């Protein structure tokens, strides 16, 4: 890149401190929800932009570093891309996950969910999900601390990987076991939604890995009793409980002819929170 500049000072060498400052500025731009703002506006002098951006480095230097920034060896990228769609950022991604687990001791409660990072560039595994705030982007699965929201592990969804060391099953059960690997056999609890939850997954996590689960479950699962799925003729704000081995199943009717199912390997009683008053009544089976 230096060959296109007439003066050496226009493309001076960088160092680790300057790269950290660059990352900090990008992080701050996200905190201030300026990811869709023109970068030049962050250096505006009309009083509308934070002064910290102008204090750290000039805009031209910021733009130059972003253009030159690379996360891997471009000379070997083509060979690695044969077996890995994430070859350009694989090392950075793995380093991020390693540091997230090394630098933080999470609490006993976790959540698993999917998240969309807004992206409209060219990418073979870019997703379009109309229900998300950012409809176009890259989808990833996150294991997060439920108390502090610290991300313990991220798995970027790259679709079907080519045959090789990064080929993986993208079924919900397989994703759950991969992403929870850092906390398995530690006696912690995971909360997740009905895309991930199934009775076999909950039983396997409890019996093999000493990990409990709380989550909603879809009505089409074959393991569910028919009585729990049917909402007709059931009173509104009533709950039906079922117990089997180490699992508790709850069918709650929030409104007429509709029920929501939840399953837990953490709870073993039909007690309802008294703070909900008379809105929820239970029936034990």
- What DSSP string describes 154-222? EEE--SSPPSSTT----SHHHHHHHHTGGGTTTT-EEEE-TTT--HHHHHHHHHHH--EEEEE--TT-T
77 and 167 housed in the same domain: yes
Position 72 scores a pLDDT of 85
79 and 107 housed in the same domain: yes
Position 195 scores a pLDDT of 94
Instruction: Tell me the pairing of strands 127-128 and 136-145.
Output: antiparallel
Position 269 scores a pLDDT of 84
Position 118 scores a pLDDT of 85
98 and 177 housed in the same domain: yes
Least confident span in 2-6, 100-104, 115-119, 259-263: 2-6
Please state the rounded mean pLDDT for residues 146-160.
93
**Residues 37-66: tens digit of each pLDDT:** 888 888 988 888 888 899 999 999 999 999
Confidence of residue 2 (pLDDT cuts 50, 70, 90): low
Compute CA 48 distance to the chain's CA centroid, rounded to the nearest angstrom. Answer: 32
Residues 16, 107: Cα–Cα separation, whole Å? 32
Confidence of residue 285 (pLDDT cuts 50, 70, 90): very low
267 inside domain: no
Position 201 scores a pLDDT of 95
Position 276 scores a pLDDT of 61
227 inside domain: no
95 inside domain: yes
Percent of the chain with pLDDT over 70: 93
- Residue ranges making up the domain that contains 59: 2-69
257 inside domain: no
43 and 95 housed in the same domain: no
Of 183, 210, 245, the one marking the end of a domain is 183
113 inside domain: yes
11 and 92 housed in the same domain: no
Q: What is the mean pLDDT of the chain?
A: 89
Domain count, the chain: 2
11 and 50 housed in the same domain: yes
Position 280 scores a pLDDT of 55
188 inside domain: no
64 and 96 housed in the same domain: no
Residues 65, 39: Cα–Cα separation, whole Å? 13
106 and 132 housed in the same domain: yes
Position 32 scores a pLDDT of 83
80 and 64 housed in the same domain: no
Of 69, 89, 112, the one marking the end of a domain is 69
280 inside domain: no
Position 279 scores a pLDDT of 58
46 and 100 housed in the same domain: no
77 inside domain: yes
Of 139, 165, 183, the one marking the end of a domain is 183
**Residues 177-235: tens digit of each pLDDT:** 999 999 999 999 999 999 999 999 999 999 999 999 999 999 999 989 999 999 888 99
44 and 32 housed in the same domain: yes
63 and 108 housed in the same domain: no
């Amino acid at each position: 890149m230096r060959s296109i500049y007439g003066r050496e000072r226009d493309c001076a060498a960088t160092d680790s401190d300057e790269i950290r400052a660059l990352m900090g500025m990008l992080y701050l731009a996200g905190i201030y929800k300026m990811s869709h703002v023109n970068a030049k506006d962050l250096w505006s002098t009309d009083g509308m932009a934070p002064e910290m951006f102008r204090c750290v480095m000039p805009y031209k230097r910021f733009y130059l570093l972003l253009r030159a920034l690379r996360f891997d060896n471009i000379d070997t990228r083509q060979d690695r891309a044969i077996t890995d769609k994430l070859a350009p950022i694989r090392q950075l991604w793995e380093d991020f996950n390693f540091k997230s687990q090394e630098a933080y001791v999470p609490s006993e409660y976790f959540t698993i969910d999917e998240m969309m990072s807004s992206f409209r560039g060219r990418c073979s595994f870019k997703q379009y999900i109309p229900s998300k705030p950012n409809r176009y982007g890259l989808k990833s699965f996150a294991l997060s601390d439920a108390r502090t929201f610290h991300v313990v592990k991220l798995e970027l969804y790259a679709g079907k990987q080519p045959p090789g060391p990064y080929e993986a099953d993208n079924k919900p059960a397989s994703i759950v076991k991969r992403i929870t690997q850092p906390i398995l056999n530690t006696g912690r609890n995971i909360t997740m939604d009905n895309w991930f939850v199934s009775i076999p997954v909950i039983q396997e996590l409890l019996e093999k890995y000493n990990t409990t689960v709380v989550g909603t479950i879809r009505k089409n699962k074959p393991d569910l009793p028919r009585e729990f799925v049917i909402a007709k003729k059931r009173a509104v704000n009533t709950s039906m409980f079922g117990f089997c081995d180490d699992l508790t199943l709850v069918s709650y009717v929030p409104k007429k002819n509709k029920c929501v199912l939840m399953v837990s390997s953490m709870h073993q009683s039909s007690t309802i929170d008294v703070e909900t008053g008379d809105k929820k009544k239970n029936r034990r089976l």
